[in-house]
Amino acid sequence: MPACFAARLSLFAMSNQRIKTPCVGLCSTVYGDLVCRGCKRFHHEVVNWNAYNEDERRAVWARLEVLLDQVMQAKLEVFDTSRLRQQLEQRQIRFVPEQSAYCWAYQLIARGARVISQLDAYGVVLMPEFRGWTLPDLRDAIDREFFILSEAHYERYIAPKFLREGVEQRFP
């Protein structure tokens, strides 16, 4: 397991709350997508979520966090984590406290893109190349890139296993 995933798993281990689903209510796996366009989980993770144990759920959350962090850090900087957390709590925006501040920033942008006028008031600043973007456009770009990374991860690490298993079943 890559070190970045292992580090994220340990963060979730600190939480004594039951691990909730990453579902955001926009499931596309019911339409045949192998990666959900809403939560970015793989089809089999969506289907089997309720059967997963806590470690399996943590592993899914850890992968999602690493991929989202990668996208977010290329687009913005969180310069005041405590201010960001305070603003999220004050505005009752759902976030996972054990996740990185970059995941928190995603929740802020995802929920408040149309109403936020000064992102720096939340402890966040856009990278220079994105400062001319509207927050709804940035939110959509982040979501697309997060989905593309999730698909690439699926194709690189999951699909080959399914293909091998399919071949082995047909040609024992």
Return phi, psi of residue 95, to 5°.
-150, 160
- Give the C-alpha separation, 65 to 170, whole Å: 36
Task: Look at residue 22 and tell me whether its pLDDT is greater than 50.
Answer: yes
pLDDT tens, 109-167?
Answer: 999 999 998 999 999 999 999 999 999 999 999 999 999 999 999 998 888 765 556 54
Task: Give how many domains the chain has, as a whole number.
Answer: 1
pLDDT tens, 2-14?
Answer: 445 444 544 444 4
- Give the model's pLDDT for residue 166: 52
The pair of structure tokens assigned to 89 is: 């709590």
Task: Look at residue 1 and tell me whether its pLDDT is greater than 50.
Answer: no
Tell me the residue range of the domain where 23 lies. Answer: 3-170
pLDDT tens, 27-56?
Answer: 877 777 788 898 999 998 999 999 999 999
